[in-house]
Amino acid sequence: MKRIVFALILSMILLSSLTMGADIVNQKKEKNLITIEDYNVAKYQLILENNQNISDRFRIVVPSSHWDWIVTTDPTPIEIDEGKTKTVMFHIRPYDKIEKGLYTIPIKIISLNNENYYDEEKFDVEVVTFDMAITKKLKQPSNIDPSEDNLFKVELKNNYDIDFKDIEIKLESDFFSVNGTVNLSDHEKRTKNFATNLSGEIREGSHPIYLKIFTNGKEVSSEEFEMVIGKNSRINQIWTPIQGFFFNSEKIIKTNDGNTISHETIIKEFTSSEMRVASFLPEPDSIDQEGDIHTLTWEFELSPGESKTVTIKKDYRGIILGIILLVIIIGAFYSYRKKHITLTKDILSIKSKDGILSMDVVISLKNKSRRTIKNLKLLDTITHLIEEPTQFSKSKVPRIIKSHEKTSMLWNVPKLKGRENYVVSYNVKVEHEKINKLRIPKAVAKYIKLFQRKIVYSNVVRPFI
């Protein structure tokens, strides 16, 4: 009988140690939302309890029918002392892209020491789009002034009890791009302000504006709105004068910084003398003259963001250069034609006896310029000569050249300084019955000027008694 009782007691102990299940999960707190766009993680906080009389480790098992879900725990591995509890975070996310909807993931928590000591728990995961999770609103001015800063407000509301971190908000249009970052706690509403300054070719009217949301660097939402830009007429003019040597110009640049087409006019007045030296780019559209005044007009239209440049030049350098060249030419012609050398021939005395004339002749060669003239040649000729000339000036004896009826005397003058005189004299006897009919040849001087041979003749000498 005692053996039977002992066997019954032992069987009861073994059955109690081989329990086919246990209440391991003591408490569960869920944040079970996943958005399709960024595959964020559903989080569950569980308090696990080890009711065994030994410390133990636990593992999690996902059935093969739900292997398209990834389940991880923090901490890993799960270790719980005997009779103790531990808070464990369960993270569940899809392995790949899934459709929105409500999913239930069964998970088994099993002891590593006793496979019969386990607990089963079902995790509900709600998969939604980002636009379902967060409501967006854009508040903007009813009539946007392109010349001022404008305030745009983006309002975000979290519709669920999960947290969203580092949500990047971006506002984009053809005229500006701004961005900012916010965090949203569960069911929190926040407003992000953007002060914008419009730039570019801003035109009046309706234009699209895009509100984009990014998480983890990925675009998860994009929505188009309409903004209305009001009229703005603003013309910016820059006038740049340039002064030079006998030259001046002005550059006029008009820029349409508004958002509507503008009709512009530039008017300038010039005298007739100014018109002769003026040039224009582009040419004026019209020129009106009243007396000596010419009125020039440029007319054009400027679209938003467009610029127009008008350049006006007055260049006196051409006229001045022409005058200078003319003076140089006249001066050169005058210099070329001017006689720098004067030659005079005189008879100081004349005596007649028995048809023979004895004459004292003086020849003066003068350099009228200030420059030295080199390599001059002085030639004088005598006809009806009885004997060779005598009584030459000291150191100025010429070379005698005789021909059939005349005799020539040649003096070589190496150089003649500016304003200097070169004088020669000699006595000559000629045969002639009537002195008044005697023809005395002119003296001749030759020299080189500007690579041209120059010849100068003396005055005509008429002897008399």
Give the whole-angstrom CA distance, residue 405 versus residue 444. 18
Q: What is the pLDDT of residues 329-376, one digit of tens each?
A: 887 776 666 667 899 999 888 888 887 888 899 999 999 888 898 999
Question: Are 371 and 443 members of one domain?
Answer: yes
Question: Are 82 and 163 members of one domain?
Answer: no
How many whole angstroms from its chain centre is CA 314? 28
Interval 25-46 mean pLDDT: 75
Q: What pLDDT, on a 0 to 100 scale, did the predictor assign at position 350?
A: 86
CATH number of residue 61's parent domain: 2.60.40.10
Say if residue 6's pLDDT is above 50: no
Give the whole-angstrom CA distance, residue 98 versus residue 70. 13
Give the whole-angstrom CA distance, residue 140 versus residue 328. 76
Give the whole-angstrom CA distance, residue 220 versus residue 134. 11
Domain boundary among 90, 113, 128: 128
Q: What pLDDT, on a 0 to 100 scale, did the predictor assign at position 357?
A: 84
- Residue 157 Rama label (left phi>0; alpha psi -120 to 50; beta): beta
Q: What pLDDT, on a 0 to 100 scale, did the predictor assign at position 304?
A: 79
Q: What is the pLDDT of residues 182-194, one digit of tens each?
A: 999 988 999 999 8
Q: What is the pLDDT of residues 233-243, one digit of tens each?
A: 677 888 888 88
3 in a structural domain: no
Question: Are 146 and 223 members of one domain?
Answer: yes
Which of 8-12, 103-107, 112-116, 220-224 is predicted least confidently? 8-12
Indicate the number of domains in the chain. Answer: 4
Give the whole-angstrom CA distance, residue 284 versus residue 269. 12
Phi, psi for 262 (deg, rounded to 5)? -125, 135
Question: Are 448 and 348 members of one domain?
Answer: yes
293 in a structural domain: yes
Say if residue 8's pLDDT is above 70: no
Q: Mean pLDDT over all residues of the chain?
A: 84
Q: Which of 260, 257, 300 is nearest to 282 (CA)?
A: 300
Q: What pLDDT, on a 0 to 100 scale, did the predictor assign at position 14?
A: 39
Question: Are 181 and 220 members of one domain?
Answer: yes
Question: Are 223 and 247 members of one domain?
Answer: no
Domain boundary among 229, 250, 275: 229
Q: What is the DSSP letter of 129?
A: -
CATH number of residue 404's parent domain: 2.60.40.1170
Phi, psi for 272 (deg, rounded to 5)? -65, -40
Q: How confident is the model at residue 37 (pLDDT cuts 50, 70, 90)?
A: low
13 in a structural domain: no
Tokens of 63: 């059935």
Q: In the Cβ-directed half-sphere of 122, how many Cα atoms lie within 13 Å?
A: 4
431 in a structural domain: yes
Question: Are 157 and 124 members of one domain?
Answer: no
Question: Are 112 and 197 members of one domain?
Answer: no
324 in a structural domain: no
Question: Are 243 and 301 members of one domain?
Answer: yes
Q: What pLDDT, on a 0 to 100 scale, did the predictor assign at position 242?
A: 83
Q: What pLDDT, on a 0 to 100 scale, did the predictor assign at position 80?
A: 94
The pTM is what? 0.47
Give the whole-angstrom CA distance, residue 168 versus residue 211. 11
Q: What pLDDT, on a 0 to 100 scale, did the predictor assign at position 369?
A: 86
User: 386-418 as b/e, with b when 16 or more CB fall inside 10 Å?
Assistant: eeebeeeeeeeebeeeeeeeebbbebebeebee
Dihedral Cα 48, 49, 50, 51, nearest 10 deg: -150
CATH number of residue 245's parent domain: 2.60.40
Q: What is the DSSP letter of 115?
A: T
Report the percentage of the chain scoring pLDDT > 70. Answer: 90
- Are 399 and 459 in contact by the 8 Å Cβ rule? The answer is no
Q: How confident is the model at residue 103 (pLDDT cuts 50, 70, 90)?
A: very high
Domain that holds residue 276: 235-317
Domain boundary among 128, 156, 188: 128
Report the percentage of the chain scoring pLDDT > 90. Answer: 33
172 in a structural domain: yes
- Are 143 and 47 in contact by the 8 Å Cβ rule? The answer is no
How many secondary structure helices (H) and strands (E) does the chain include?
4, 32
Interval 163-177 mean pLDDT: 90
Q: What is the residue-wise DSSP string for 371-440?
A: S-EEEEEEEEEEESEEEEEE-PPTT-PPEEEE-SSEEEEEEEEEEE-TT-EEEEEEEEEEE-S-GGG--B
Question: Are 104 and 168 members of one domain?
Answer: no
464 in a structural domain: no
Q: What pLDDT, on a 0 to 100 scale, did the predictor assign at position 255?
A: 87
Interval 96-113 mean pLDDT: 90
11, amino acid identity: S
Interval 450-458 mean pLDDT: 86
Question: Are 178 and 259 members of one domain?
Answer: no
Q: Which residue has the tokens 């993931």?
A: 105
Q: What pLDDT, on a 0 to 100 scale, did the predictor assign at position 436?
A: 63
Give the whole-angstrom CA distance, residue 366 versus residue 413. 12
Question: Which residues have C-beta within 8 Å of that of residue 62, sequence separation ≥ 6?
Answer: 69, 71, 105, 106, 107
Q: Are strands 118-128 and 33-35 parallel, antiparallel or unpaired?
A: parallel
Q: How confident is the model at residue 403 (pLDDT cuts 50, 70, 90)?
A: confident
Phi, psi for 436 (deg, rounded to 5)? -65, -20
Q: What is the pLDDT of residues 410-431, one digit of tens each?
A: 999 999 998 899 999 999 888 8
Q: What is the pLDDT of residues 66-92, one digit of tens each?
A: 889 999 999 999 999 999 999 999 999
- Are 247 and 317 in contact by the 8 Å Cβ rule? The answer is yes
- Are 59 and 112 in contact by the 8 Å Cβ rule? The answer is yes
Q: What is the pLDDT of residues 269-314, one digit of tens each?
A: 889 888 888 888 899 998 988 888 998 889 888 887 788 999 998 8
Give the whole-angstrom CA distance, residue 308 versus residue 310. 7
336 in a structural domain: no
126, amino acid identity: E
Question: Are 27 and 105 members of one domain?
Answer: yes
